[in-house]
Structure 1
Amino acid sequence: MIPGFVYQGTPSRVVFGTGTLARLPEEVDRLGLRRVLVLSTAQQEREARDLAARLGNRAAGVCAGAVMHTPVEVTARAVEHATGLGADGLVSLGGGSSIGLGKAIVLRTGLPHIAVPTTYAGSEMTPILGQTRDGIKTTQREPGLLPGTVLYDVDLTLSLPVPMSVTSGMNAIAHAVEALYARDGNPIVTMMAEEGIAALLRALPAIVGNPTDAAARSDALYGAWLCGICLGSAGMALHHKLCHVLGGTFDLPHAETHTVVLPHVVAYNARAAASAIGRVGALMGTADAGTAMQALARRLGAPTALRDLGMPEAGIERAAELAVRSPYWNPRAVDRDSLHALLARAWAGAPPMID
């Protein structure tokens, strides 16, 4: 018998396919927008300006100031820019940094937001904003933060560098893994989580072998979409708490941090969430999902140690302290000593440990 549950569907409009970027002008028109501000990181400014040119007089300008972890001072400048241009909407092009900046502007202005993802981060499918102030990253969830339209174009991911593809994909897998044991999980989210993980497990090795494999890129983007829905529907637990602490406090790269930490959290929760972690293991063909997840990362050429991302060993204690100060719900209770041990293994790149 299926137990009773509550499922709140995400109300985004999704346009998925190949060559769908050509439909962006009609999506802008559909929302009745006349002056949209295009958001990106500095690294994608050229693509953002090309996109603004494609929009013609529908574009108010470009703001290429998005950075990781959405610092509040960066958002303040972007809001001032949008206001000065008289923008009546936003188009964010890129991954979690650009889409996160879009959400932060929405929080402060209420402007309509169209997201055009170019990575597998999944932020576009969540009503969650993570932002950093004075080295502390906090999150908030509000329905209005969810982009109203998401335009997925597989072609935009064909040039995504392989290392970023891998870590971005592992980041997406982490969303789905936590959704399997989240407090607000339900059978619908479980189906999407398993399908999303399976799609990415197929796609990532194929992308490493052939970065322009359109079928693999389509699988990866589809999987990332599903994993993003899972995160937006079922919430977060220990894995995301640790990654938010590590990113906000030590400015570690977002997707790489998720890639390193995930196997250790899977092992930490393996007994307390045996059914959920067992589903992950079944998808990977093993009873030890944490070890398999780390082996997959290593096989794909991804980092497996926090020290390789620039985290100081002396920061382990600080990270453990911050994580227990305001913890997210987790199927297994957390304490500073246990998290210190987990983070020490992740820092060194040691094998995950089930205890």
Structure 2
Amino acid sequence: MTEMRFIHETLGQRVRFGTGESADGVAAEIKLLGADQVMVIAAPSETTLARTVSADIPVALVHQDVRMHVPVEVAARARSAANDHRVDAIVCVGGGSTTGLAKAVALTTGLPIVAVPTTYAGSEATSVWGLTEGGTKTTGVDTRVLPRAIVYDAALMTGLPVDLSVVSGLNALAHCVDSMWAPRTDPINRALATEAIHALAAGLPKIVSAPESLAGREETLYGAYLAAVAFASAGSGLHHKICHVLGGRYDLPHALTHAVVLPHVLALNAPNAPEAEERIAGALGGDTAVRGLQELRHRLGAPRALRDHGFRENQISDAVDVILPVVPDTNSTTVTRDRLTYLLRDAWEGADPR
């Protein structure tokens, strides 16, 4: 009989989950912070929504200069704007890029963040930050960037198109899968990830069949939060190491890259991670984890090939060179140059890992 032994860290933040209640939730959180000069960060496409969400708080400025993967020059401009307006809190309304920019400001200023997600990215529930410079994406962990509070409102998700909902939801699913074998994984992370897979597998097909359905949006949002909490504790596994390189170095769309690469990483690792294989397969309702994932992806009409989205075949070798040094030592399957090359080639051409 083995002895269970692990160290688990739970990050401290408040979560408000209520459909149609985002404006009230944001106002309540800003009041708790005692802030009176708030910086609202939102991409141009989210500005109208952001103004509605922030209608009852003291807004000092609305900052719209948001870019995918948070280039360092974009972060510098946001930090300068926060300083110029002497802001004392940040409200970010949007997806992972918007949350990432808010984190970049908090990293150097310590300003508290209230995050209002409009995708299933999950960045709002982690203390992970990322900045891109010269084709290299650097990530780190710092408690200063963890949002003080999250305001979840499924009604804000109904404007997210189905195709973007699918890749964003599969990005959340990637958090679950990586949490099964990441460097700091433990039984609590695996339990959270398993429940998250159940919720995502139930919610995403409802979004595809009925995009305006709040039930599907709520289930998916709940699953995305659990997935992010598991990932925040477990750390980045092989999947995220691969996708951070592909996104930062070749400017590939973040969520879409995760959606395409995920089945290939799962196919590589599952044979040598029997407990994770059993959990994932059970949560997806498949006889194997990979088959369950692929059946879900088929139902969702998920993207299949990186070559359709900007990644070139002649970039595979370069990507392998950059990824190999950051492969976690704890990965369940030994990652060789040949294995990684085959994985990236399959993801590039859209091969079925089954």
Letter aligned with residue 34 of structure 1:
D
Shift of 1:106: 0.5
Instruction: Give me the whole-angstrom Cα distance separating, in 1, the residues matched to 2:334 and 2:137.
Output: 22
Question: 1:40-86: per-residue Cα shift (whole Å, max 9, x none)?
Answer: 1222122223334x035x11111111111111110000111111111
Name 1:269's counterpart in structure 2.
269
Name 1:40's counterpart in structure 2.
42
Shift of 1:20: 2.1
Name 1:342's counterpart in structure 2.
343
Question: 1:7-53: per-residue Cα shift (whole Å, max 9, x none)?
Answer: 1111011111112212211210111111110011222122223334x
Question: For residues 139-178 of structure 1, what are the structure 2 equivalents within 5 Å?
Answer: 139-178=139-178
Letter aligned with residue 290 of structure 1:
V
Instruction: Give me the whole-angstrom Cα distance separating, in 1, the residues matched to 2:214 and 2:188.
Output: 28
Question: For residues 84-233 of structure 1, what are the structure 2 equivalents within 5 Å?
Answer: 84-233=84-233
Letter aligned with residue 39 of structure 1:
I
Instruction: Give me the whole-angstrom Cα distance separating, in 2, the residues matched to 1:65 and 1:145.
Output: 19
- Alignment of 1:288 with 2:288, yes or no, is yes
Letter aligned with residue 341 of structure 2:
H
Shift of 1:290: 2.2
Instruction: Give me the whole-angstrom Cα distance separating, in 2, the residues matched to 1:204 and 1:25.
Output: 30
- Alignment of 1:19 with 2:10, yes or no, is no
Secondary structure (helix, strand or coil) at the match of 1:37 reads: strand
How large is the Cα RMSD of the aligned pairs?
1.4
Instruction: Give me the whole-angstrom Cα distance separating, in 1, the residues matched to 2:182 and 2:306.
Output: 25
Letter aligned with residue 84 of structure 2:
G
Name 1:331's counterpart in structure 2.
332
Shift of 1:2: 5.9
Letter aligned with residue 340 of structure 1:
T
Instruction: Give me the whole-angstrom Cα distance separating, in 2, the residues matched to 1:307 and 1:293.
Output: 21
Question: For residues 233-272 of structure 1, what are the structure 2 equivalents within 5 Å?
Answer: 233-272=233-272
Number of aligned pairs?
351
Q: Residues 26 and 53 of structure 2 are in contact (CA less than 8 Å); yes or no, is this contact kept in structure 1?
A: no
Shift of 1:328: 3.1
Instruction: Give me the whole-angstrom Cα distance separating, in 1, the residues matched to 2:246 and 2:155.
Output: 32
Secondary structure (helix, strand or coil) at the match of 2:83 reads: helix
Secondary structure (helix, strand or coil) at the match of 1:299 reads: helix
Secondary structure (helix, strand or coil) at the match of 1:286 reads: coil
Q: Residues 320 and 336 of structure 1 are in contact (CA less than 8 Å); yes or no, is this contact kept in structure 2?
A: yes
Instruction: Give me the whole-angstrom Cα distance separating, in 2, the residues matched to 1:311 and 1:217.
Output: 30
Name 2:30's counterpart in structure 1.
28
Question: For residues 2-81 of structure 1, what are the structure 2 equivalents within 5 Å?
Answer: 3-21=4-22, 22-52=24-54, 54-56=55-57, 58-81=58-81
Shift of 1:301: 1.7
Instruction: Give me the whole-angstrom Cα distance separating, in 2, the residues matched to 1:135 and 1:321.
Output: 14
Name 1:352's counterpart in structure 2.
353
Instruction: Give me the whole-angstrom Cα distance separating, in 1, the residues matched to 2:328 and 2:141.
Output: 13
Question: 1:233-271: per-residue Cα shift (whole Å, max 9, x none)?
Answer: 111111001100110011111111000000000001022
Larger mean CA deviation between 278-287 and 158-167 belongs to 278-287
Instruction: Give me the whole-angstrom Cα distance separating, in 1, the residues matched to 2:243 and 2:133.
Output: 16
Secondary structure (helix, strand or coil) at the match of 1:236 reads: coil
Q: Residues 197 and 284 of structure 2 are in contact (CA less than 8 Å); yes or no, is this contact kept in structure 1?
A: no
Instruction: Give me the whole-angstrom Cα distance separating, in 2, the residues matched to 1:103 and 1:335.
Output: 34
Q: Residues 263 and 289 of structure 1 are in contact (CA less than 8 Å); yes or no, is this contact kept in structure 2?
A: no
Letter aligned with residue 45 of structure 1:
T
Shift of 1:333: 2.2
Q: Residues 182 and 238 of structure 2 are in contact (CA less than 8 Å); yes or no, is this contact kept in structure 1?
A: no
Instruction: Give me the whole-angstrom Cα distance separating, in 1, the residues matched to 2:74 and 2:333.
Output: 36
Instruction: Give me the whole-angstrom Cα distance separating, in 1, the residues matched to 2:252 and 2:291.
Output: 23
Unmatched runs of 5 consecutive residues or more in structure 2: none
Instruction: Give me the whole-angstrom Cα distance separating, in 1, the residues matched to 2:346 and 2:273.
Output: 21
Instruction: Give me the whole-angstrom Cα distance separating, in 2, the residues matched to 1:290 and 1:319.
Output: 24
Secondary structure (helix, strand or coil) at the match of 1:69 reads: coil
Task: Report % sequence identity.
Answer: 44
Q: Residues 195 and 283 of structure 2 are in contact (CA less than 8 Å); yes or no, is this contact kept in structure 1?
A: no
TM-score calculated relative to the size of structure 1: 0.95
Secondary structure (helix, strand or coil) at the match of 1:140 reads: strand
Instruction: Give me the whole-angstrom Cα distance separating, in 2, the residues matched to 1:348 and 1:186.
Output: 34
Letter aligned with residue 300 of structure 2:
L
Instruction: Give me the whole-angstrom Cα distance separating, in 1, the residues matched to 2:3 and 2:144.
Output: 31
Larger mean CA deviation between 142-151 and 200-209 belongs to 142-151
Question: 1:186-240: per-residue Cα shift (whole Å, max 9, x none)?
Answer: 2211111111110000001111000111111111110011001011111111100
Change (3 A) 1:12 1:288: same
TM-score calculated relative to the size of structure 2: 0.96
Instruction: Give me the whole-angstrom Cα distance separating, in 2, the residues matched to 1:41 and 1:252.
Output: 18
